[in-house]
Amino acid sequence: MKLSPEDKKEFEAIFSELKNGMKKQDAIKKLEVTLKKIYKEDFTVKIIKTKERKYSFVMSVIPEQSALDKITSNLLNEKSKKETITDLWEKCNKWTIEIDERVLDNSFTDRELSALLLHEIGHVVCTDSVPTRIKMVIQYSFVSMPFQSKSILKQKMFKKMIQIPLINACVYGNTRTDLKKELKADQFSVKNGYLNELISAMTKIEQRGLSHENLSSSTDYMKKSIEMLQKRKAKLVKESYEEITNRLPQDMYMRETVNELINDICNPFQKTTYTDEWLYESVNNEIDSIIEDSYITEFLDIRKKKLKPVNQNEIDYVAMKSQDIQSIDDKIMLMSYINSKLDMIEYYLSIMDDPKTAKKYIIPNSENQLNRYRVQLLQIKKYITNYKIPDNSQLIVSWYPKGYEG
């Protein structure tokens, strides 16, 4: 999309007003109107006051909540394809833009701020870059989780956990590695004559150490929280998310999401009078029930009243498919299938180790069979995990500033 000279002057004038601090609300309104005129979509702009010097996000462009909810549901569906998530992303026509007030402190020029904003909108709204990252990092992480963890995340009261890394994917990436990727992928700022300003702005951001957690870190945090819930540590999980809200700036989208997660977990069990111990015990018991019910639903053949078998031909099939991986969708599908079978095997072996539980179920495989199948599946899983999907993307920027070469 090519901007007119008038549109570029309008952006730069608005940032000049925002930096001066006079009539800030009028400037925000002008920015929203200008963005809607250009992109034909609705934008809500917020200037976020950061209360800790250590925390910064520079800028973020986040889809509306209904779009986040639909994308979350698709991420939790292990059979969904990247195109489905990308389609939901493209259909979203309402966005929230958050700007860290510290980038409005006159250390950045009006053109640098315009370059950053146009870059972020072009990067998040106008390409499939973010939904592709979401698919590769978040969903791949989800399918790699143990069966119990996936069962917990699929419940309504815990779904917001996956939205935290999802929102984090919409925040400006500002590690040295991320900056190289940003420069490589950017087309919007370059087409509109802002390449030099974008490079200088990115360099200033890194020099000032304006950093935030990257997508992988927030995804790992989600996984650790689920593991703690499985260990009946609901109290520690709630406290850890409360620490996050205390660190996040007021009115920030991420803070609101974390608060909603805490409420989703605790509200179903809150009564007029209750103790904290009773609340946490109730959450822990609910998680135990979720895991137990999901095992029965997933692995028990109700009609035959026995557990479903693990067959050698299924393992041979996935071994064959592992030699023909063409995309991240292929990789996710195979990892999901392998992990499901491994979870099934571990569940059956745990039943065999418990004489009391073993009396309740008929296991159609021997212990030797299950151990043999487990070894085979782990070998295939290792191969798929290490397999690198070829990157066929094209370089857009041929010149980089010092330190960003290559």
SS3 of 194-212:
CHHHHHHHHHHHHHHCCCC
CA distances (Å), origin 268, targets 13, 222, 241, 280: 49, 21, 18, 12
Q: How confident is the model at residue 30 (pLDDT cuts 50, 70, 90)?
A: very high
Measured torsion, CA atoms of residues 103, 106, 112, 116, in degrees rounded to the nearest 10: 10
Predicted TM-score (pTM) of this structure:
0.75
List the beta strands (DSSP E) in 171-247: none
Alpha-carbon distance 262 to 162, whole Å? 13
Burial class (CB in 10 A: 0-12, 13-18, 19+), 31: buried
Q: Where do we find the tokens 């109730």?
A: 282
DSSP 171: B
Find, among 134, 220, 119, the residue nearest to 169 by Cα: 134
Q: How confident is the model at residue 399 (pLDDT cuts 50, 70, 90)?
A: very low
Please say if the pLDDT value at position 92 is more than 80: yes
Please say if the pLDDT value at position 374 is more than 80: yes
Domain boundaries, the chain: 5-268, 304-390
Please say if the pLDDT value at position 105 is more than 90: no
Alpha-carbon distance 309 to 300, whole Å? 10
Q: Which residues pair with 262 in a beta bridge?
A: none
Q: How confident is the model at residue 203 (pLDDT cuts 50, 70, 90)?
A: confident
